[in-house]
Structure formats: C-alpha cells, structure tokens
Amino acid sequence: MPGLKIRDGTEPGGSGGLQFDLSKVLAALGQAAVKSRWSCADLNYVSKDDREVPVLERAATPGEQVAGLELIEGTRLLLQVIDGQFTGFDEDGNVWVIIRAVDSSWWEVWSDNKWVHEAIRSNFRVVESISDGAG
C-alpha cells in the first residue's frame, strides 16, 4: 500500500511544529471519511481540557469502530495527536485508508486509492511519497 508523509511545519526550515492535526487530514478525505467506520491503535493525544476524548477511547478499544462523523466531531476536543494509527473501513468493511501520527513530527496517509493521494497533495504543502510501513 503506497503512502504519503505530510510534514507541514516540521520540514527543514519550517516553523518547528506541525501546522495541522487529524481534523485537517480527515477534512481532506471529504465524504469518504464521513461515511467510513474508524478504529485506532497506539493512541497518544492531548485534549483541549486534559480529559479523555470518549470517541477516541472507544475507537481505540480492540474490535470497536466508530462512525466517521462522530470521529470528526470528536477532533474538536483535541489539542494534538502525538501518536496513533487511524484505520478507515468502507461500507463493505474493507480498509481503504490508514492515517498515522508519528511522534508529533509528521503524519502518514496510506491508501491504494489514487484519489486519496491527490486529495492529500492538494491540501498540504510538504508531502513526500513513502513506500514502506503499512499494508
């Protein structure tokens, strides 16, 4: 599964901090993200009020999935995702995208769908192709 690394803000000469978070990645994926079911793993985040974000905790429970709209609404409570893998499932239960936060340094988006790569490239400034680590 081919991937992309997004580093807006952490690229050499950048501001030193990411200029986006999960909500912007999901927004770039549009209605497909809304219609999907999501699970997550290896999650480490900071919320705006230093409390757990219930939808993220449910999505991180093994075997559980949450609705796309619910996940998107839950991102409003986030200050930052430090680490985590978010897996999107289509209506047939197939994985169509994997989104990874890596140590507050960059995000990765993995998908076999060409339109996903085009959407990410058109919504972010510093994007590079990567070819290992997911799938």
pLDDT tens column, 76-101:
999 999 999 999 999 999 999 999 99
Task: Tell whether 120 is covered by a domain.
Answer: yes
Task: Tell whether 57 is covered by a domain.
Answer: yes
Q: What is the pLDDT of residue 133?
A: 57
Task: Tell whether 68 is covered by a domain.
Answer: yes
Mean pLDDT of 128-134: 78
Flag whether pLDDT at 135 surpasses 80: no
Q: What is the pTM of this model?
A: 0.92
Domain boundaries, position 54: 3-124
d(CA 103, CA 98): 16
Task: Tell whether 133 is covered by a domain.
Answer: no
Give the confidence band of 134 by pLDDT, cuts at 50, 70, 90: low
Task: Tell whether 48 is covered by a domain.
Answer: yes
Task: Tell whether 65 is covered by a domain.
Answer: yes
Task: Tell whether 130 is covered by a domain.
Answer: no
Task: Tell whether 74 is covered by a domain.
Answer: yes
| Count of structural domains within the chain | 1
pLDDT tens column, 27-80:
999 999 999 999 999 999 999 999 999 999 999 999 999 999 999 999 999 999
- Three-state secondary structure readout of the chain: CCEEEECCCCCCCCCCCCCCCHHHHHHHHCHHHHHCEEEEEEEEEEECCCCCCHHHHHHCCCCCCEEHHHHHHHHHHEEEEEEEEEEEECCCCCEEEEEEEECCCEEEEECCCHHHHHHHHHHCCCEEEECCCCC
